[in-house]
């Protein structure tokens, strides 16, 4: 239980250098999937007192959120189209313009600015 903390998964989820970025592959995703399954199973098997059940549920939710985030980061480098498909809608509004071109980014930022700030005037 001591090793289960804020960072529950050890697999490096994003490259730390351009050289590491070139080495990313589906093996990294498989390693993350395997570790997630291992850690999740380990926590699910924990027998806890009734007062700690909420903590156990929160821990499982934290592990799941960490896994999802790490998986999306890896997919963004190895398979951007799949990353967009699996991303929440909020993320898609920021990711899709980046995959188009610089003009689209400027337009998207301008539209977000206008939608956010001009509605108050």
**Torsion angle in degrees (nearest 10) through CA of 85, 72, 45, 51:** -100
Note if the pTM is more than 0.75: no
2-11, 23-32, 39-48, 76-85: which has the highest mean pLDDT?
39-48
For residue 79, report the phi and psi dihedrals to the nearest 5 degrees.
-155, 80
Helix (H) or strand (E) holding 68: helix 53-78
> Which tens digits make up the pLDDT trace of 76-95?
878 877 888 888 877 777 66
């Amino acid at each position: 239980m001591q090793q289960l903390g804020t960072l529950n998964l050890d697999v490096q989820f994003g490259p730390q250098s351009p050289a590491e970025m070139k080495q990313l592959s589906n093996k990294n995703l498989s390693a993350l999937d395997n570790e997630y399954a291992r850690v999740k199973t380990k926590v699910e098997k924990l027998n806890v007192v009734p007062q700690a059940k909420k903590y156990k549920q929160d821990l499982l939710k934290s592990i799941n959120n960490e896994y999802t985030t790490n998986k999306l980061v890896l997919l963004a480098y190895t398979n951007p189209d799949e990353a967009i498909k699996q991303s929440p809608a909020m993320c898609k509004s920021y990711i899709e313009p980046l995959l188009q071109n610089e003009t689209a980014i400027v337009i998207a930022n301008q539209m977000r600015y206008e939608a956010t700030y001009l509605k108050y005037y």
